[in-house]
Chains A and B, each alone.
Chain A
Amino acid sequence: MSNPSVVHRAKSARKQKMQEGTIVSFTTVRHPPAGFGTNPLRIGLIALEDGSQAMGQLIAPAHEDIQIGSKVRPRMKLLRVQKNGLRIYDTAYELCAAKPVVQEQKVEREFPGYIVALYGPSGVGKSTVCTLMTKVLVEYVENVPILTTRAKKKGDADEYHYTTAAEFTRLRKDKKIIAATQIPSRSEKRWYGYREEDIQAIWNKGKIPIVITEQHLLQNLSSYYGRRSILSFGLLPPGKSRRAMLSQLLHRLRSRGRDTEKHIQDRMKNAEHDLDFFEKRKELFDHILVNEDLDAVMETLKGHVLGVERT
Chain B
Amino acid sequence: MNKDIFLIGSGQTRFGEWWEKSLRDLAGEAVEAALKDAPCTSLDIDMVIVANMIAERTNGQAHLGALVSSLFPHNPPALRVESACASGAVALHTACGLLESGRAQTIVVVGVEKMTDVSTEEVADALMGAADSEKDAPCGLTFPGIFGLIAKRYMHEYHLTRERLNHVSSAHHRNALHNPFAQFRKEIPAEHISQSPAVADPLCMLDCSPVSDGAAACILSTVKESDIKIAASQLASDAVSLTERATITSFPATKRAMEKALAEADIDRKSVSHLEIHDCFSIAAVINVEDLGFAEPGKGVELYEQADPVPSINASGGLKACGHPVAATGIKQVTDMAKQLRTSGSRFGLTQNFGGACASCGIHILEHTHV
Contacts and interface: CB of A to CB of B under 8 A. Distances in A.
Interface of A: 1, 6-7, 9-10, 13, 24-34, 36, 41, 43-45, 52-57, 63, 68, 79-80, 88, 90, 92, 108, 227-228, 282-284, 307
A32 B140 contact: yes
A79 to B, nearest CB: 7
A34 B156 contact: no
Most B Cβ at <10 Å: residue of A41, A45, A68: A45
20 contacts: A1-B138, A13-B135, A25-B153, A27-B152, A27-B201, A27-B202, A28-B148, A28-B198, A30-B199, A33-B121, A41-B139, A41-B140, A43-B145, A45-B149, A55-B243, A56-B139, A57-B139, A57-B140, A63-B201, A80-B140
Contacts, number: 122
Nearest to B157: A108
Contacts of B133: 1, 6
Interface in B130-179: 133-142, 144-145, 148-153, 156-157
A28 B135 contact: no
B84 to A, nearest CB: 15
A41 B149 CA distance: 13
A27 B134 CA distance: 19
Range for the number of chain B residues in contact with chain A? 35 or more
B350 interface: no
Given A27-B145, A55-B242, A57-B139, 17 more contacts: A27-B200, A27-B203, A28-B148, A30-B198, A31-B120, A33-B121, A33-B124, A33-B125, A34-B122, A36-B140, A52-B243, A53-B242, A55-B136, A79-B138, A227-B247, A282-B244, A283-B245
A14 B46 CA distance: 51
B135 A55 contact: yes
B156 A25 contact: yes
B138 A10 contact: yes
A45 B248 contact: yes
A210 to B, nearest CB: 20
Interface of B: 120-122, 124-125, 128, 133-142, 144-145, 148-153, 156-157, 197-203, 239, 241-248, 259
A1 B244 contact: no
A284 B150 CA distance: 19
A216 to B, nearest CB: 17
A90 B139 contact: yes
A250 B13 CA distance: 62
Q: Which 7 A-B pairs have the closest CB atoms?
A: A27-B148, A25-B153, A283-B246, A53-B243, A29-B145, A25-B149, A36-B140
Contact of A31 (B124, B151, B259): B124
B62 to A, nearest CB: 18
B140 A33 contact: yes
A27, A33, A44, A228 — most chain B CB neighbours (10 Å)? A27
A12 to B, nearest CB: 9
A164 B353 CA distance: 56
B281 to A, nearest CB: 12
Contacts of B149: 25-27, 43-45
Contacts of A27: 145, 148-149, 151-152, 200-203
